[in-house]
Amino acid sequence: MARRSQIDAKKTRQQLLADAAHLFSTQGYSNTSVADICTASSTTKGALFHHFKSKQSLFLEIWTNLQVAMDAEAREAAIAARSLTDPYSAFLAGCRVYLKYATRRDYQKIVLIDGPSVLGMKGWYEEDHALGSQNVLAGVRYLAKKGIVAEAHVEALAVMLQSALNGVGFALSREEDGVTPEKVYSAFEAMVRSLR
């Protein structure tokens, strides 16, 4: 019986995450109440608060799940794109995945639009940096290993490139005039390939 209740608890938790993610991406964090989430999940507030200490902690887990999924896909794309003749290809393939995510409505609404207000800009930056900096840093280190960038500039360049990607993500989420994923990728690729 204990095993069954563990399975049920896991299903309830997954259902809460899925339904809350859908509501946060379609209605926004501030327009989604705990009652809305419970109704969508056919569960109780007690069950929600058994799994998550607050609506904000539920949001943070959803935010993190999106970031981790994007990060894993970017890493896979980078590995698949490695080239003996083009040292930039792996890094740029990972960046293209981020730009793809930055056009997804769920990623935009949860990570880029509501994320900074729910987590606070400092909290958002710290969480984003902790999750994404290793891949960007690995990409820049690879470029340094290939003699493209100076070893002394690796850490600073990684911070700047991650910040540039985030800035573009915010611009795409705001649907700024003239900012399209294709134009952004083309400009970002030109910038990366000009690194020496």
pLDDT means over runs of 10, the chain (196 residues): 68 95 97 97 93 96 95 92 89 92 94 94 87 86 92 93 91 84 90 87
Q: What pLDDT does 1 receive?
A: 46
> Residue 185 CB: number of other CB atoms within 10 A?
17
Q: What pLDDT does 31 receive?
A: 97
Q: Rounded to 5 degrees, what angle do the CA atoms 93, 99, 105 make?
A: 140
Q: What pLDDT does 4 receive?
A: 55
Residue ranges in 146-180 assigned as alpha helix (H):
154-173
First to last CA, the chain: 63
Alpha-carbon torsion angle 101, 107, 108, 109, nearest 10: 170
Q: Tokens for 50, please give them.
A: 């058994």
pTM (2 d.p.): 0.87
Q: What pLDDT does 120 receive?
A: 93
Q: What pLDDT does 2 receive?
A: 53
